[in-house]
Structure 1
Amino acid sequence: MDQKLKDIVIEHSDDIVKMWLEEVNKKKSSDYTAAISDELFDSTNREFVNVIFTSIEKSGLANDINDFSERLINLGWPLSYLTDGMQVFRRVTSEYILRQSDKIDSDYFAEVLRKVDGWVDPVINQLVNEYSGSWEHIVSLQRVALQELSAPLIPVMDNITIMPLIGTIDTERAKLIMENLLDGVIKHNAEVVLIDITGVPVVDTMVAHHIIQAAEAVRLIGSRCILVGIRPEIAQTIVNLGIDLSKFPTKSSLRKGFQSALELTNRTIEDVQSKDEDIEKLIDSLNRE
């Protein structure tokens, strides 16, 4: 019975695919697929139905299910595309098989539904598992990338590094800032670290506490911190909250902080243009003599 029904499906695959595509296309104007180009939608649907038939023909799960699931994730299509498509295939295939038979008794009807479920359910499970696994992997990679970008330590000069902070600082991110800061100071042999909070929208007691902790940890390993990017409203907030930032220097801008960092490392900024002009004047004077 199972092989007979399977032969019917394979033999009339073109008709079933046509019915399936018609049903799926009916939904295109009313859900998330409305914004997808007709060409991409059609090619993806055909790839999807090929995956389904390959699984049925091989009496097992096709190896390309994983590739198809990853393709959908890269396209940004939701999991519901897979589950909806499989439900449509279940209904269309069952209806087509029943139309091909003269039998109308309930036992045959139940048998057809059971066999079709036996083909469809494993494919749904595998697609969902592969999609979920691929999605979790991608999300994990993105989380690691975001963590690396959320607290970078950038060496800008020998013994001077900058950590630009952007966005809200919570406890988890504060821990990451501390780790990156200490590792970076040692790795780059930094004597001075500029913590730039220009992009931090709110500096409350908790944020200030985390920054003070980070600065103190840097001091304990022999380096110094300069807090830069303190806007007037941030300064007012710090004063109103009674936060003590006297243990390490603060500057209103990164430029001023960098100048202080140069002074702490016994360096200064000199105007090269002025020196060139002085040399030209000296040469002119010698030539006149």
Structure 2
Amino acid sequence: MKMMVQLEYFVFFQKCLAEDVDELTDRIFKLSEDRYKEELEALTDEQLEQSRFIVRELFETIAKTMLYIEKSNEVAQEWGEQIGKHSVAQGGDLTEALSNISIYKEVLWMYIEEKSRGTNYEFKQIVEVITRIDDIFNHIIYGFSLSFAQEEDRILKEYEEKYLKLSTPIVPIKDDTAILPIIGDIDQKRADVIMDETLKEASALNLDLLIIDLSGVYDVNNSFMGHLYRLIDSLELLGITPILSGMRPDLTMEAAKLGLSTSKKKVITRSSLKQAIELLEKPLLK
């Protein structure tokens, strides 16, 4: 960390903070007991000890970084992220955690005011110190909040992946035959999930035939047909015969306009799922 702040009043308050970390921590918990007694009583001794450790580290981080211009905010944010990850792992709540920040600031501002008594520092200089500490606080809060946002994003992606897997079930109808109903639009992400899950399940079931039913497809375009043909190619490489059902006139016409007619791949197609299932009784597919 370069470009250290050399102003006397910054150095004075930094030294005070570094020396009084334990006292500040005690003040935080005393004020918390007055305002959130029930919440603190619900914590185990281990959780209380961990909370004290985090609060102590908070003041140590502020004391260590307040004299530096370069890198200090980055260090503060990184520390906030680390504490945020710990809080997430412990099932912490972001709203509750952020509400405690007001207590930390209240204690700090009161402490700065106390330490400024008996000094010759001007009000403007005191405000500069408070502004610097507040800036560090803001970066800590940002890093802390970022950890929660990343966790929410991870959970959302996890649920989305589970949903996508559940939305493409293979339904066995015979020992060697199954149906894959495709419903809705197919984007790249869903196409990848359909490809992976279908090939895994088809191999696990030891299928010979797979009916891909397109009755529930909303729209067809170049991208959709590309994904579909990629799936068909992969199935054929596994020795599985694909049959397309639900090829409505609009889908067939659109595919033809795009130059992606299924006839070019010699794929068996039927206009309805009923016709595709009836086709299974013919000697050609037995």
TM-score (norm 2): 0.58
What is the deviation of 1:143?
A: 5.2
Match 2:180 to one of 135, 147, 163: 163
Query: Number of residue pairs matched?
Result: 237
**Counterpart code for 1:141:** E
What is the deviation of 1:88?
A: 3.0
Relative to structure 1, the CA distance from residue 136 to residue 249 in structure 2 (aligned partners, 3 Å threshold; closer, same or farther) is same
**Structure 2 residue aligned with 1:269:** none
What is the deviation of 1:195?
A: 0.7
Q: Deviations over 1:259-280 (max 9, x none)?
A: 32344654xxxxxxxxxxxxxx
Match 2:235 to one of 211, 215, 218: 218
User: What SS class does the counterpart of residue 225 from structure 1 fall into?
Assistant: strand
What does 1:181-192 align with in structure 2 at a 5 Å threshold? Answer: 181-192=198-209
Whole-angstrom distance in 1 between the partners of 2:234 and 2:226: 12
**Counterpart code for 1:251:** R
Unaligned runs of 5+ in 1: 22-41, 267-289
User: Is 2:114 aligned against 1:97?
Assistant: no
Moved more, 221-230 or 87-96: 87-96
**Structure 2 residue aligned with 1:55:** 54
What is the deviation of 1:71?
A: 6.5
Whole-angstrom distance in 1 between the partners of 2:267 and 2:165: 26
Q: Deviations over 1:227-269 (max 9, x none)?
A: 1223443344335545422322323333332232344654xxx
Q: Given that residues 179 and 213 in structure 2 are in contact (C-alpha distance below 8 angstroms), is that contact kept between their aligned partners in structure 1? A: yes
Q: Deviations over 1:168-201 (max 9, x none)?
A: 2234543443444444333222121011222321
What is the deviation of 1:95?
A: 2.7
What is the deviation of 1:55?
A: 1.9
**Counterpart code for 2:55:** I
Match 1:106 to one of 110, 121, 130: 121
What is the deviation of 1:130?
A: 4.5
Match 1:260 to one of 279, 282, 285: 279
Whose relative contact order is higher, 1 or 2, with alpha carbons under 8 Å and at least 6 apart? 2
User: What SS class does the counterpart of residue 280 from structure 2 fall into?
Assistant: helix
Match 2:26 to one of 10, 13, 25: 10
Q: Given that residues 247 and 272 in structure 2 are in contact (C-alpha distance below 8 angstroms), is that contact kept between their aligned partners in structure 1? A: yes
Q: Given that residues 167 and 200 in structure 1 are in contact (C-alpha distance below 8 angstroms), is that contact kept between their aligned partners in structure 2? A: yes
Whole-angstrom distance in 1 between the partners of 2:23 and 2:196: 62
Relative to structure 1, the CA distance from residue 17 to residue 127 in structure 2 (aligned partners, 3 Å threshold; closer, same or farther) is farther
Whole-angstrom distance in 1 between the partners of 2:146 and 2:222: 44
User: Is 2:262 aligned against 1:248?
Assistant: no
Q: Given that residues 25 and 55 in structure 2 are in contact (C-alpha distance below 8 angstroms), is that contact kept between their aligned partners in structure 1? A: no
Relative to structure 1, the CA distance from residue 199 to residue 86 in structure 2 (aligned partners, 3 Å threshold; closer, same or farther) is farther
Moved more, 228-237 or 124-133: 124-133
Whole-angstrom distance in 2 between the partners of 1:17 and 1:135: 30
Whole-angstrom distance in 2 between the partners of 1:254 and 1:232: 14
Relative to structure 1, the CA distance from residue 14 to residue 184 in structure 2 (aligned partners, 3 Å threshold; closer, same or farther) is same
TM-score (norm 1): 0.58
**Structure 1 residue aligned with 2:66:** none
**Structure 2 residue aligned with 1:37:** none
Q: Given that residues 193 and 226 in structure 1 are in contact (C-alpha distance below 8 angstroms), is that contact kept between their aligned partners in structure 2? A: yes
**Structure 1 residue aligned with 2:5:** none
Whole-angstrom distance in 1 between the partners of 2:51 and 2:139: 10
Unaligned runs of 5+ in 2: 1-15, 61-78
Q: Given that residues 179 and 210 in structure 2 are in contact (C-alpha distance below 8 angstroms), is that contact kept between their aligned partners in structure 1? A: yes
What does 1:1-289 align with in structure 2 at a 5 Å threshold? Answer: 1-2=16-17, 3-4=19-20, 6-7=22-23, 10-11=26-27, 13-15=29-31, 53-57=52-56, 66=85, 68-70=87-89, 81=95, 85=99, 88-98=102-112, 100=114, 102-103=117-118, 105-106=120-121, 109=126, 113=130, 124=141, 127-128=144-145, 130-131=147-148, 134-135=151-152, 137-139=154-156, 141-142=158-159, 144-149=161-166, 151-241=168-258, 243-246=260-263, 247-263=266-282, 266=286
**Counterpart code for 2:279:** S
Q: Deviations over 1:97-142 (max 9, x none)?
A: 2455644643894797499779958964773464356345435534
Relative to structure 1, the CA distance from residue 103 to residue 213 in structure 2 (aligned partners, 3 Å threshold; closer, same or farther) is same
Q: Give the aligned CA root-mean-square deviation in angstroms.
A: 4.6
Whole-angstrom distance in 2 between the partners of 1:7 and 1:196: 70
Q: Say which one has the larger Rg.
A: 1
